[in-house]
Amino acid sequence: MRLPPAIINNTEEVLREILRFTGPADGTLSRYFREHPKLGSRERGVVAEAVYGLLRNKAVYTSFAESGNGPTMRRMTLLGLADAVGVESLGGLTEEETEWLQHVMQIDRTLLPSLLRSNLPEWLFEKLVARDGEATALELAHAMNQPAPLDLRVNALKATREEVTTSLAEAPILCEPTPYAPLGIRIIKKPALQNLPLFKNGSIEVQDEGSQLLSQVVGAKRGEMVVDFCAGAGGKTLSLGAAMRNTGRLYAFDISDKRLAKLKPRLARSGLSNVHPVLIAHENDAKVKRLAGKIDRVLVDAPCSGLGTLRRNPDVKWRQTPQSLVELNEKQASILAGAARLVKAGGRLVYATCSILDEENEAIVASFLASRDDFVLIPMSEVLAEQKIDLKMGDYLKLSPALHHTDGFFAAVLERKK
């Protein structure tokens, strides 16, 4: 079935705005769809898929778009749409455009130069090649260029993984248990979850398996005082609260009112009553200082480049720069130092990012430990053994889309000496 020619115009219009990279692509798309309510769900799906396909393959498609005739933005749009639905599904093409598209879509991409094949900005590809070698860097780039699966976390306060799997099968929704996270379920296709009773009653939450493992690494126990220092919309907060079996006190700190507002409906569904959302101005806020030395476990999921989430947010690789990384590193070091004040003697501090870069990860931890002789690194291999998670790691948790089929995550566990 052919798509109406207007879809090309819609896609080109929103793509033009997204490629300015002034904000996240998902936000721009959502706003565009709100402003164009006549677009049906199928059309919205096609536009979104074309945009994300183009963001994933932007390096290759920019190169392809340099051939052919007509405006470059239209050629980029056609490549994105052909990627999403195939050339034969596109209505309103000229004969010349059809021939050009069929030709470029058949080019053997394995013969392209490695930088083009990586579909990464040059500075990032060079950084990965210098660290891992070209073959491994290309493998990682390829994995980050695939769409992410949909992972769910079972809320252990309301259901077991077996009960949820059975219920999903009745829906019928194809799914399988995640290999590492004990409460994770991977959905094979992406259904509308919001209408499922399981979602409405808080038995399931959408959460990448890597993010679930981060929460496990914190090791929060019943009756403890725990802080999720950069809580955001609260995915990890909810899993920490469930791990604590709804006992103790769990503070969700964030500097954004909007993000904490998104936590509220999720909190209501979850059945948790031990969570206390707290808006703070910065890492040295008086509300933070009041809890100094009192907290058993602190999770710092630090603001980062987000380069581990490219399967979901492919625009991130085109929006980050070496300069923005330097600014992030300063912020990461400052937040880690601020959060460390909260940890009591014998308590644990978990520093985490969704980045794949050493300067946001190991380098921040090494610098912190060099300045603090009251904290020691607990090897991740020990922490995973404590949590009975069968995953081979050394000193740190380093999850890779290429190896573990999760988003790219890093975590280090630091303990305050008694």
Q: How many residues does the chain have?
A: 418
Q: End-to-end CA distance of the chain, in Å?
A: 68
- How large is the angle between the packed helices 322-340 and 362-371, nearest 10 degrees? 40
Q: CB count, 10 Å around CB of 169?
A: 11
User: Residues 175, 230, 304, 354: which is the catalytic one?
Assistant: 354
Provide the token pair at 313.
């947010």
174 token code pair: 């194809």
- Catalytic, 304? Answer no
Placement of tokens 């002034």 in the chain: 22
Catalytic residue numbers, as ranges:
354
